[in-house]
């Protein structure tokens, strides 16, 4: 089994366009980077986790196209145009741009910062796969910003995820060469672990904390 897709119909919540798009039905991966970018087998599914409107460039998860979402979270094509006019948009690969637009719209519609941070993180992964380090850095910075808000405001609904997110913030700081902040967040992982099954995250933290102290990125 490798990556597989299906075609589904969508109605754009911003401009009303009706179109078909590919969505992901299954993935397989073997290993991952230290910030959890999976090493996918077969076609890279990342860009297809989001659906983009071919008319106005609205971008979101398939569920963001539901009737409920369309009624409760109004976005306009003008809002998307404004996002696209930001200078940062010119610099990133188009797969990453899908995540950036979705993240910005999540910001503007007051969504959970945890989900906003995850969208920026996935955007940074798309940049890494394209070897665009500059855009990757910008998206990692945004991912850190929102993941930190999620931890500080306790918006992570599954408490089991807290040690993982705490580690991830440390790891993103390490990748951004902010050793001091990386040290601080790595150091906080142990105290938020509640489940002995999360020992793996502590081991990963120790490994990356060591890298943070002794190696040049
Ligand atoms: Zn549209």
User: Could you write out the three-class secondary structure of 183-213?
Assistant: HHHHHHHHHHCCCHHHHHHHHHHHHHHHHHH
- Which whole number is the average pLDDT over 45-71? 94
Alpha-carbon gap, residue 55 to 177, rounded angstroms: 39
Ligand 1: centre distance to CA 80 (Å): 9
CB burial string 172-205: b at 16+ within 10 A, e below: bbbbbebeebbbebbebbeebbeeeebeebeebb
The reported pLDDT for the residue numbered 217 is 52
- Which whole number is the average pLDDT over 157-180? 93
Query: pLDDT band at 2, cuts 50/70/90?
Result: confident
Ligand 1: centre distance to CA 1 (Å): 33
Ligand 1: centre distance to CA 17 (Å): 5
Report helix, strand or coil for 167: helix
Q: pTM of the entire structure?
A: 0.95
Query: pLDDT band at 216, cuts 50/70/90?
Result: low
Ligand 1: centre distance to CA 61 (Å): 14
Is the pLDDT confidence value at 52 over 90? yes
Ligand 1: centre distance to CA 90 (Å): 20
Ligand 1: centre distance to CA 204 (Å): 42
Alpha-carbon gap, residue 122 to 51, rounded angstroms: 14
Alpha-carbon gap, residue 115 to 126, rounded angstroms: 17
Q: Which residues pair with 188 in a beta bridge?
A: none
Ligand 1: centre distance to CA 8 (Å): 16
Ligand 1: centre distance to CA 85 (Å): 16
């Amino acid at each position: 089994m490798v990556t597989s897709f299906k075609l589904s119909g969508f109605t754009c919540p911003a401009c009303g366009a009706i179109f078909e798009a590919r969505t992901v039905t299954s993935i397989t991966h073997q290993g991952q980077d230290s910030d959890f970018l999976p090493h996918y087998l077969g076609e890279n599914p990342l860009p297809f986790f989001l659906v983009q409107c071919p008319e106005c460039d609205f971008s979101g998860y398939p569920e963001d196209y539901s009737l409920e979402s369309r009624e409760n979270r109004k976005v306009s094509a003008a809002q998307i145009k404004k996002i696209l006019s930001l200078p940062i948009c010119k610099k990133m690969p188009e797969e990453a741009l899908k995540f950036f637009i979705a993240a910005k719209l999540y910001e503007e519609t007051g969504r959970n910062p945890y989900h906003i941070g995850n969208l920026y993180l996935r955007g940074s992964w798309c940049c890494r796969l394209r070897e665009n380090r500059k855009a990757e850095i910008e998206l990692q910075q945004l991912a850190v910003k929102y993941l930190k808000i999620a931890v500080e405001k306790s918006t992570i609904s599954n408490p089991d995820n807290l040690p993982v997110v705490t580690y991830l913030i440390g790891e993103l700081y390490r990748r951004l060469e902010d050793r001091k902040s990386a040290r601080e967040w790595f150091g906080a992982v142990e105290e938020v672990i509640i489940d002995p099954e999360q020992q793996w995250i502590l081991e990963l933290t120790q490994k990356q904390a060591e890298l943070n102290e002794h190696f040049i990125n």
